[in-house]
């Protein structure tokens, strides 16, 4: 047992070391470049970073992107998760269709997809609203492949049918089943789907750009073209910003798992398999 534990720890250390080098070295190279002076002999400077707050309309763009991230993630959870549960329980023959539909947005390059969705957005701009928040509908489509896969992995790990039948036979309505049975058992899957959605929305450029909206990535494009070092500084800053947002999200997400056990009976049913 101890030997197995040791082997596992050794495995973990090796994997983290190799992956750490692979992922952190290029980021380090970017950081190094963004602080370079203009001549070989010039000292390190933060001038490139100091140019970032001068982005026109940066505050508006950040707010818009954050709002879009929240709206898209909520819509994803409200639309995709119940549909996936329903299909698994009642319409398994549709599962392949749903799976392919959820994969479709990823099969076409974003610029081609924009061409198709543009007429719909022109209609929305003229007849409904000019607000950038309308982009949430398109972003939900973009988020479908990733969130479907994360949620599917989570759904596959729990015995959905037994759990729901047990809850229903105890008298729970579908709302209770979703909120008290399914969701608590899929914490890590829901969290990961949420992380992927937020990260996608914060990093999304093509749709906003080609539909003439100004989200975070579009706004920082302008200042990134002022200067060589600024272009890289801006990219690293955007990555760090998204990282912090996601970290906060994951702290909120798994923070709630600590005060879970309130109803003993349901909690026991709920604790089959999922540890988050």
Instruction: Write out the binding residues for another protein, residues 161-220 only, by CB under 8 A.
Output: 161, 165, 169, 186, 188-189, 191-192, 195-196, 198-200, 202-205, 209-214, 218
- Find the binding residues for another protein in span 16-75 (CB under 8 A): 16, 19, 22-23, 25-27, 29-30, 32-33, 36, 38-40, 56
Q: Which is nearer to another protein, 18 or 267 (CB)?
A: 18
* Cα→Cα distances 138→18, 71, 105, 242, Å: 37, 12, 10, 20
Binding to another protein, residues 84-103 (CB under 8 A): 86-87, 89-94, 96, 98-101, 103
Question: How far is the C-alpha of 204 from the C-alpha of 139, rounded, in Å?
Answer: 9
Whose tokens are 């949420």? That residue is 194
Q: Which of residues 59 and 225 has its CB atom nearest to another protein in the complex?
A: 225
Cα–Cα distance for residue pair 17/61, rounded to 1 Å: 37
Residue bearing tokens 């990093």: 203
Residues 139 and 200: beta-carbon distance below 8 Å: yes
Size of the site for another protein (CB under 8 A): 126
What is d(CA 119, CA 52) in angstroms, rounded to the nearest whole number? 34
Residues 111-170 that bind another protein (CB under 8 A): 111-113, 115-122, 125-126, 130, 137-138, 140-141, 144-146, 149-154, 156-158, 161, 165, 169
Tell me the closest approach of the beta carbon of residue 27 to another protein, in angstroms.
7
Note the residue count of the chain. 276
Among 66, 67, 172, 221, binds another protein (CB under 8 A): 221
- Residue 67 or 221: the one with the smaller Cβ distance to another protein is 221
CA atoms within a 13 Å half-sphere pointing along the CA-CB vector of 267: 8
Whole-angstrom distance, CA of residue 42 vs CA of residue 23:
28
- CA 99 – CA 37 distance, rounded (Å): 50
Q: How far is the CB of 262 from another protein (least distance, A)?
A: 19
Name which of 67 and 101 has its Cβ closer to another protein. Answer: 101
Binds another protein by CB under 8 A, chosen from 52, 74, 105, 176: 105
């Amino acid at each position: 047992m101890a030997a197995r534990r040791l082997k596992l720890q050794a495995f973990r250390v090796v994997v983290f070391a190799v992956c750490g080098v692979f992922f952190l070295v290029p980021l380090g190279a970017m950081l190094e470049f963004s602080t370079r002076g203009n001549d070989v002999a010039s000292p390190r400077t933060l001038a490139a970073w100091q140019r970032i707050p001068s982005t026109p309309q940066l505050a508006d763009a950040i707010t818009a992107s954050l709002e879009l991230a929240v709206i898209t993630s909520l819509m994803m959870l409200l639309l995709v998760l119940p549909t996936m549960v329903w299909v698994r329980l009642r319409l398994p023959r549709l599962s392949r269709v749903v799976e392919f539909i959820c994969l479709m947005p990823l099969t076409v390059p974003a610029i081609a997809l924009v061409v198709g969705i543009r007429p719909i957005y022109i209609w929305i701009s003229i007849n409904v609203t000019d607000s950038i928040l309308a982009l949430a509908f398109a972003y939900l489509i973009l988020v479908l492949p990733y969130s479907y896969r994360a949620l599917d992995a989570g759904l596959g790990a729990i015995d959905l049918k037994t759990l729901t039948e047990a809850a229903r036979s105890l008298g729970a309505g579908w709302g209770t089943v979703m909120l008290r049975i399914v969701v608590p058992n899929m914490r890590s899957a829901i969290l990961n789907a949420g992380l992927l959605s937020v990260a996608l929305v914060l990093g999304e450029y093509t749709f906003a750009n080609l539909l003439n909206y100004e989200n975070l990535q579009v706004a920082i494009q302008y200042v990134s073209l002022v200067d060589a070092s600024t272009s890289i500084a801006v990219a690293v800053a955007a990555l760090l910003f998204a990282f912090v947002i996601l970290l906060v999200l994951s702290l909120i997400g798994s923070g709630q798992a600590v005060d879970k056990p309130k109803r003993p009976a349901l909690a026991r049913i709920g604790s089959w398999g999922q540890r988050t």
